[in-house]
Amino acid sequence: MSEHTVVPQPASPPSAGSPATDGQEPLVKTTNLVKIYEDKDQVPVKALNGVDFQVAPGEFTAIAGPSGSGKTTLLNLIGGLDKPTSGTVVVAGQDLGALSRNALATFRLHNLGFIFQAYNLIPVLTAEENAEFNLLLQGVPPKERHERVLQEFEDLGISSELIHRRPNKLSGGQQQRVAVARALVSRPKLILADEPTANLDSKTGARLLDKMRDLNERTGITFLFSTHDPMVMERARRLVILRDGLITEDEVRG
């Protein structure tokens, strides 16, 4: 595969708006998605069993299901962090399987934000440096980076005295909010969050979810997150249940 493919731009910008409505161009579309891993003894493990799944622009959707049901695998494939065994993933009109590694990295940088269970902040960078990382890669000038990060921190309730701290001097909740700021500040079309509240106490987790939902409503950024936390499921506007690598329930609450 060529490493120098020109990055195709998304076909049409999604309109911000209502969740899961019919007839809208989906922001995410997976077709017959299969992922088979091999375990240590090279025994195949079928993590996804042919998943057909769509997300409309503006949704705030949770994928729930027991441990091992395939949630992380599905998010990783939608985020282009891993390749399916078979089937396709289309995000913002782009078939991810058609992109070279480099083109995929560029596509992710301009379209996606990631929030992980373990925050994944870079330990040697300050809160501000972590949050501005994608803007730096995008070539945004320093002054603009600084202003945008400060604004994001303010919106997320991250106090200005924390901006020069390294992650090990921040609480779990503060680290996760910095990770959310990092994902949001470049205004991606889609934010993928893998169990974003897993390492937070329930009050901090609930506050973070309310913040994310508020941002979703204000900015129209689409959120797709995995969880097995009932508090998170309660706050989702659409709840998809995954079992043994297949969607078994899909409920829109409006």
Strand partners, 89: 30
41 binds ligand ADP (CB under 6 A): no
**24 or 86, CB closer to ligand ADP?**
86
Instruction: Please tell me the distance from the alpha carbon of residue 134 to that of residue 42, in angstroms, as a whole number.
Output: 37
Among 30, 61, 72, 76, binds Mg ion (CB under 5 A): 72
**Minimal distance in Å, beta carbon 82 to ligand ADP?**
8
Mapped onto helix, strand or coil, the DSSP state of residue 203 is helix
**71 or 145, CB closer to Mg ion?**
71
Residue 47 interacts with which of ligand ADP, Mg ion, none, CB < 5 to 8 Å by class: ligand ADP
**Minimal distance in Å, beta carbon 68 to Mg ion?**
8
Least Cα distance to 247 among 87, 49, 68, 84 occurs for 49
Instruction: Please tell me the distance from the alpha carbon of residue 54 to that of residue 57, in angstroms, as a whole number.
Output: 10
**Of 60-119, which residues contact ligand ADP (CB under 6 A)?**
65, 67-73
Mapped onto helix, strand or coil, the DSSP state of residue 220 is coil
**Minimal distance in Å, beta carbon 240 to ligand ADP?**
12
Q: ∠102-105-109 over CA atoms, to 5°?
A: 140
**Minimal distance in Å, beta carbon 34 to Mg ion?**
18
Count residues near Mg ion (CB under 5 A): 2
Instruction: Please tell me the distance from the alpha carbon of residue 24 to that of residue 16, in angstroms, as a whole number.
Output: 11
- The sign of the dihedral angle between the CA atoms of 108, 109, 114, 119 is positive
- Under the rule (CB under 5 A), what is the footprint of Mg ion? 71-72
- Under the rule (CB under 6 A), what is the footprint of ligand ADP? 37, 39, 45, 47, 65, 67-73
